[in-house]
Amino acid sequence: MRIVTWNVNSLKARLPRVTEWIEEVRPEVLCLQETKMADEAFPALHFEELGYTGAHFGQGRWNGVAIISRVGLDDVVANFADGIEPDTEARIITATCAGVRVSSVYVPNGRAVDDPHYEYKLDWLDRLVAHLERDTSPSADVVVTGDFNIAPTDADVFDPAMLDGGTHVTPAERDRLAALADWGLTDLFRGHHTADGLYSWWDYRSGSFHKGHGMRIDLSLGTASVAKRCRWSVVDRNARKGESPSDHAPVIVELAD
DNA sequence: ATGGTTGTTGCACAA
């Protein structure tokens, strides 16, 4: 069972590429972020024609997350299930696919450490733990996958300037990843790769992809039972090439049945 | 160099 995360940067603009990729790879579960569309615009029938069931949580112009699956899609929860006031932005959707509780997350970018959006990012990550606590259990098969907008370690970043006061690499952000680890979630990709220079996002500007200037910010986190089943993980860099790509590549994990 | 590029119910703003 392969579970994929892909920030598509507009599902409308990316639908031809996404369709082509699905037909080639046929993943069991595909989690999307930054669909940038309202629920009414989500092309559910299109995915059904490809053999997938889809669930989407969107708001229109910004954000938007989805899960599409060809191994079942049950108990869908849009937004946080932490029982307090709903988050105003569409950044998390959760469903059970073939016994795995899967969340597709689009963590706030943060913009700059002195921007209010950075505090929103940290609060959002605190709420993610509260959500998991309410929605499921560390002893269950759980995968939280998506664009975390955090590089877990310095080995996951090209730009040294980013390490000096930039977002995505601050101790406070990494503390939130540590809190998720304390809850029971480990970085499945790092269970199979130790090298640096392995990224999932490259800025559109300045020929960053061509120069190898990127960050690994698209993560798949799994509970212990999932980590034990994880056979491999890979970034499909080919999907970042060619005409009209997203600035993110898909990241795949395969779990043994 | 506060640079560069892409997307959107765009003409500014988020990434």
Which tens digit of pLDDT belongs to each residue from A56-75? 999 999 999 999 999 999 99
Which tens digit of pLDDT belongs to each residue from A176-185? 999 999 999 9
Contact A70, A53 (CB under 8 A): yes
* C-alpha to C-alpha distance for A239 and A211, rounded to whole angstroms: 16
CA distances in angstroms from A48 to A15, A19, A32, A113, listed in the order given: 14, 12, 16, 42
Nucleotide nearest to A203 (CA to C1'): B5
CA of A219 to C1' of B13 (A): 26
CA of A97 to C1' of B14 (A): 32
Can you say how many angstroms the Cα of residue A171 is from the centroid of all Cα atoms in its chain? 21
Considering chain A, what is the average pLDDT of its residues?
97
Residues near strand B (C-beta below 7 A) are: A 9-10, 12-13, 34, 36-38, 41, 60-62, 108-109, 111, 117, 204-206, 244
The CATH number of residue A211's host domain is 3.60.10.10
Q: Which of A190, A89, A108, A95 is nearest to A148 (CA)?
A: A108
Nucleotide nearest to A244 (CA to C1'): B6
* C-alpha to C-alpha distance for A81 and A74, rounded to whole angstroms: 15
Contact A240, A251 (CB under 8 A): no
pLDDT of residue A182: 98
Nucleotide nearest to A161 (CA to C1'): B2
Nearest residue: Cα versus C1' of B4: A205
Report the side by side order of strands in the sheet with A251-255. Answer: A53-57, A65-69, A29-33, A2-7, A251-255, A230-235
Which tens digit of pLDDT belongs to each residue from A100-110? 999 999 999 99
**pTM for the whole thing?**
0.98
Nearest residue: Cα versus C1' of B3: A206
CA of A139 to C1' of B6 (A): 41
Residues A95, A149, A34: CA angle, nearest 5 degrees? 55
Q: Which of A14, A3, A15 is nearest to A47 (CA)?
A: A15
Nearest residue: Cα versus C1' of B10: A61
Nucleotide nearest to A41 (CA to C1'): B9
Which tens digit of pLDDT belongs to each residue from A201-222? 999 999 999 999 999 999 999 9
In sequence order, what are the residues at sequence separation of 6 or more whose Cβ sits closer than 8 angstroms to the Cβ of residue A161? none
- Domain of residue A198 covers 2-255
CA of A98 to C1' of B12 (A): 43
Q: How many domains does chain A have?
A: 1
Contact A236, A252 (CB under 8 A): yes
User: How much is the average pLDDT of A83-92?
Assistant: 95
pLDDT band at A134 (very low <50, low <70, confident <90, very high): very high
Instruction: Tell which strand B nucleotides have any atom below 7 Å from a protein Cβ.
Output: 4-10, 14-15
Catalytic positions of A, written as ranges:
106, 147
CA of A205 to C1' of B6 (A): 9
pLDDT band at A161 (very low <50, low <70, confident <90, very high): confident
